[in-house]
Amino acid sequence: MIPSAFPEKSEIARLTARMLLEIKAVHFNTAEPFTLASGLPSPTYIDCRKLISHPRIRSILMDFMAVTVMRDAGFEAFDNIAGGETAGIPFAALMAERLALPMTYVRKKPKGYGRNARIEGDMTEGQRVLLVEDLTTDGGSKLSFVDAIRETGATCGHTAVIFYYDIFPETEKTLGDHGIRLHHLCTWWDVLAEAKTGGHFDSETIAVVQAFLNAPRDWQQANRT
């Protein structure tokens, strides 16, 4: 069903952060920092994949994503919803259902047999495709997915995510230089504000996380092992 209520962006951000905290998708660990895919340390980690196990929350968040995209990109802006392998696939399916559009997904690399395809499902030349993912950090992983979509003759100028780190200043430039506009529901700043309000973590942990968010590269360099 296509959502028809359009909450303010600030309220979407606050409620999204609250829901992520409620299901314990947000992890702060200042004593033993997490190791990111880049190999760098971080006192924060977010697991948006947990959302698929919480039907009420995932439904509300997909409504939020649908109205965010319609409000910011247009009500008839897309012909196809593509999910990035693997975390983006369930959210793309839910978004396609809400927007009454075909759904496809994009592999990280060709599967190596059969048609050796990167695009699964029907994507045709000229279609306007929205790439859906769970989150973005620096935006780099989106570029390969978008290139694979464009190789079909379709266009892709938008990506939508539930969570955007919003701590690396180069992210939106990286996407923008590739002709991609980012749509998101909340950021680390929204989560931090809600964590403070709800008393989810002790003050010392909050202080370390805030220092990291304000200067992530400096914090990572100082805490490399």
Residues 165-187 have pLDDT tens digits of 999 989 999 999 999 999 999 99
Residue 119: its pLDDT value, please? 94
Residue 149 lies in a domain: yes
Domain contains 159 = yes
Tell whether pTM > 0.85.
Answer: yes
Query: Does 2 map to a domain?
Result: no
Q: Residue 220 corresponds to which tokens in the numbers above?
A: 């990572």
pLDDT, residue 113, reads 66
Task: List the structure tokens of 125.
Answer: 């030349």
Q: Which contacts of 108-111 are long-range, i.e. CB under 8 A and separated by 24 or more positions?
A: 108/84, 108/144
Between the alpha carbon of residue 193 and those of residues 20, 21, 43, 139, 186, the distances in Å are 13, 11, 16, 23, 11
Can you tell me whether residue 11 is helix, strand or coil? Answer: helix
User: Is 89 within the bounds of a domain?
Assistant: yes
The tally of domains found in the chain comes to 1
- Per-residue confidence at 142, pLDDT binned at 50, 70, 90? very high
Does any domain span residue 46? yes
More confident residue, 4 or 15: 15
- Residue 3 inside a domain? The answer is no
Q: Is there a domain that residue 37 lies in?
A: yes
- Domain residues for the domain of 110 are 9-215
DSSP state of 102: -
CATH of the domain at 171: 3.40.50.2020
Residue 203, in any domain of the structure? yes
